[in-house]
Structure 1
Amino acid sequence: MTTTSAVITALGFCWLGMVLAISFLEAPLKFRAPGLTLQVGLGIGRLVFRALNTIEIVFAATILIAILFDPPPVGAVVALMVAMATLIVQLVVVRPRLTRRSDAVLAGRDVPRSHSHYAYVALEVLKVIALLIGGIAVLAHGVS
């Protein structure tokens, strides 16, 4: 395995682990905590997801640079590009909608539930699958 393949694999699986831990474990469990208000939960969620998204951008940029220097197999590149494109859609299209809604909730307005949460979760599932496939493909290529 080349150093570049090792970097791509490590960052891809770290990215995968962070998404799984935050989006599918921390986020839903947070709202089950006794005494936690919706406003406090949203405030915490905004901070956590801002940090996650920042790290995701760094990981995606580093993986992209590594791919440019030493491309893994095409299937791995496609899967990793799907993960990166998914992140871009989340940040540019879905997150602004979620932010507007959470701003309204934090301001005390009564707003209906947002379907954007479902879109964000669907994109998270797609990203998880893409990262898993990409990481496995790079890893399998590196050990063959």
Structure 2
Amino acid sequence: MNLAVGAIAFLWLGMVLALSFLEAPLKFRAPGITVPLGLGIGRLVFRALNIVEVVLLLGVGIALLAGPRSTPILWATAAVALLLVVQLAAVRPALAARTRRVLAGDPHTGSRAHLAYIALELVKVGGLVVLGLAASAVI
């Protein structure tokens, strides 16, 4: 079952890297994409990503219940779960409020919540790498 945890962790890692660190910044460079349009797209993409992340976390949990669990795997899972909960419960609501303001015509574009989300994503990437490697018995 640890291989299933590793596979889920690396799938999750790939999704976060592709969407958070590739798609998100690149969409604003596309011709014709305005800030409001980019934010509208981002809201849909990140809502979908967050739903998939919850499903993947549940998959990790089920695999851990069904098979052997090492301390590094449990700690890495707990860390990634905590980061996701903080993103969803604390940071996403602030980002959603900002997006609503921008879409309503507020010209304010700065956001500390955005920086917090990015920082949490970076830490989550590290946690997913550790989880994947620990589950694959590499560390």
Match of 1:80 in 2: 77
Structure 2 counterpart SS, 1:140: coil
List alignment gaps of at least 5 residues for structure 1: none
Q: How many angstroms apart in 1 are the aligned matches of 2:15 and 2:92?
A: 18
1:1-144 equivalences under 5 Å are: 4-140=1-137
| Alpha-carbon separation, structure 2, partners of 1:70 and 1:7 | 10
Moved over 4 A (4+): none
Number of residue pairs matched by the alignment: 139
How far apart are the structure 1 equivalents of 2:4 and 2:19?
22
In the alignment, residue 9 of structure 2 is paired with which amino acid?
G
1:32-91 per-residue CA deviation (whole Å, 9 max, x = no partner) reads: 112211111001000100110000000001101211222331112101211111001000
| RMSD of aligned residue pairs (Cα, Å) | 1.4
TM-score, normalised with respect to structure 2: 0.95
Give me the whole-angstrom Cα distance separating, in 1, the residues matched to 2:75 and 2:111: 31
The sequence identity of aligned pairs, in percent, is 50
Q: TM-score, normalised to structure 1's length?
A: 0.92
